[in-house]
Amino acid sequence: MAADSFLMPPCRKIRIREAKGGPNPNRSDSSGVEEPQDADYPYVPQLSDDIEKSILARFPLSEYWKLNFLNKHFSRLLKSGELFKIRRQIGFKESSIFMSASGGNCWWAFDRLFKCCRQLPELPSRDVCFIGGDKESLCAGSHLIVSGREFTEGNVVWRFELETSKWFKGPSMIDPRCLFASATCGTFGFVAGGMEMGLLGAEVLNSAEKYNPETKSWESLPCMHKKRKLCSGCFLDDKFYVIGGKDENDMELTCGEAYNKDKNTWELILDMLKDEDNPVAKRQSPPLLSVVNNELYCLETSSNELKVYLKNSNTWKKLGAVPVRAGLHKGWGVAFKSLGNELLVIGYSSANCNCDYNGMTIYTCRPDAEREELRWRCFEGYKDRLNFFLLNCCVMVA
């Protein structure tokens, strides 16, 4: 699919005709005129179902939505979710990036190398509060989860399923929340902390939940030691970390907590974000954290520097400057994500001198704590497509 092919083409019924040039020996008449066949007839009847599924499971993830328009057989196969199960069984995974930017109300999907891009169907909520309000997002399996607040129902969840290429409402979290930490592990999505808007006002939470895309349901996890909002989440050492944020008294937190799935317990880690050079109080967005090759990285917005967490000493090491101006809006509007074995950073390029320029810039880097210089790769072609200020961004591995 071409990189500039942003809009999904209209659905067309595909027809197949036999090639002209002579009568079909399998027909009783010899008129030479063949009736068109509907595309719902098998394309490759000589292949077994297992081989066919194995081939389709290896299709690029960015092309999957086209199967819905190819024929009914392939469409049913995609919607069944079986192709994604086969991909998991054979260890065939790809990363996709989903994002929405300021100035629009639509979501975009990019492939791993930013060569393919498409606009998702419009999220069907007509609630003005949801459309114009803040939203959080995470991925779990083949589901994109978007959480926001509606005027009538409060905090709600919408999910986009790759299998059907459609949006569905729900299921709502057990404790509906906003400004929470989230992370993905395997096919599961994890959330913790945040704020719940009740009849008596806002309440800061210490509860946590896990989303299962197969059952399309949420499961309660043990509560954290501390209540916190505006915190960040990640998976490190196979544990769900929730780091930083503010407590119920609006005080900055430098501690983190790690959820052990096997023990079903939380461990409090003191002074995880403590930094004398750049006090945590300067950070107004949730901490910009990401894990690559089981190493935790932080984008320090006040200094625009990349740092790596040293687990043994509970300290941070500076690695160098990041090529986006993370401090332009105090960390808001910047994407800082793990993309396979690379860091992904999207925002306003620090090399830009044009104050009227609003296009986003995409960079990736393979971080190395021992390397003296960071090598950033810039992806061209999307600078004028979307605004540099990202409202939401998350990475799906499926």
- Model pLDDT for residues 122-139, shown as the tens digit of each residue: 999 999 999 999 999 999
Q: How far apart are CA 119 and CA 122, in angstroms?
A: 8
- List the single range of 15-29, 37-51, 171-185 with lowest mean pLDDT: 15-29
Q: Are 97 and 395 in contact (CB under 8 A)?
A: yes
Confidence of residue 145 (pLDDT cuts 50, 70, 90): very high
Confidence of residue 383 (pLDDT cuts 50, 70, 90): low
List Cα–Cα distances, 333 to 8, 101, 277, 305, in angstroms. 26, 8, 24, 17
What is the model's pLDDT at position 352? 66
- List the single range of 117-131, 194-208, 290-304 with lowest mean pLDDT: 194-208
Asked if residue 380 has pLDDT above 70, the reply is yes
Contacts of 373 (CB under 8 A, 6+ apart): 320
Question: What's the length of the chain?
Answer: 398
Confidence of residue 32 (pLDDT cuts 50, 70, 90): very low
What is the model's pLDDT at position 11? 37
Asked if residue 358 has pLDDT above 60, the reply is yes
Q: At what angle do helices 49-57 and 82-89 cross, to 10 degrees?
A: 80
- Of 194, 169, 170, which is closest to residue 182 (Cα–Cα)? 194
Q: Are 193 and 206 in contact (CB under 8 A)?
A: yes
CATH of domain 123-274: 2.120.10.80
Q: How far apart are CA 139 and CA 135, in angstroms?
A: 14
What is the model's pLDDT at position 353? 55
Q: How far apart are CA 226 and CA 257, in angstroms?
A: 9
What is the model's pLDDT at position 45? 57
Asked if residue 270 has pLDDT above 60, the reply is yes
**Residue bearing tokens 């090491």:** 317
Q: How far apart are CA 285 and CA 245, in angstroms?
A: 9
Asked if residue 69 has pLDDT above 70, the reply is yes
Mean pLDDT of 359-368: 91
- Of 19, 34, 33, 76, which is closest to residue 53 (Cα–Cα)? 76
The total of other beta-carbon atoms located within 10 Å of residue 302's CB is 16
Ordered by start, the domain boundaries in the chain are 45-92, 123-274
What is the model's pLDDT at position 233? 99
Helix (H) or strand (E) holding 321: strand 315-321
Mean pLDDT of 221-226: 99
What is the model's pLDDT at position 2? 39
* Structure-token pair, residue 194: 């945040």
Residue 20 CB burial class (10 angstroms; 0-12, 13-18, ≥19): exposed
What is the model's pLDDT at position 276? 55
Q: What percent of the chain has pLDDT over 70?
A: 83
Helix (H, G, I), strand (E, B) or coil at 205: coil
What are phi and psi for residue 258, nearest 5 degrees? -125, 125
**307 vs 44, more confident:** 307
- Model pLDDT for residues 231-269, shown as the tens digit of each residue: 999 999 999 999 999 999 999 999 999 999 999 999 999
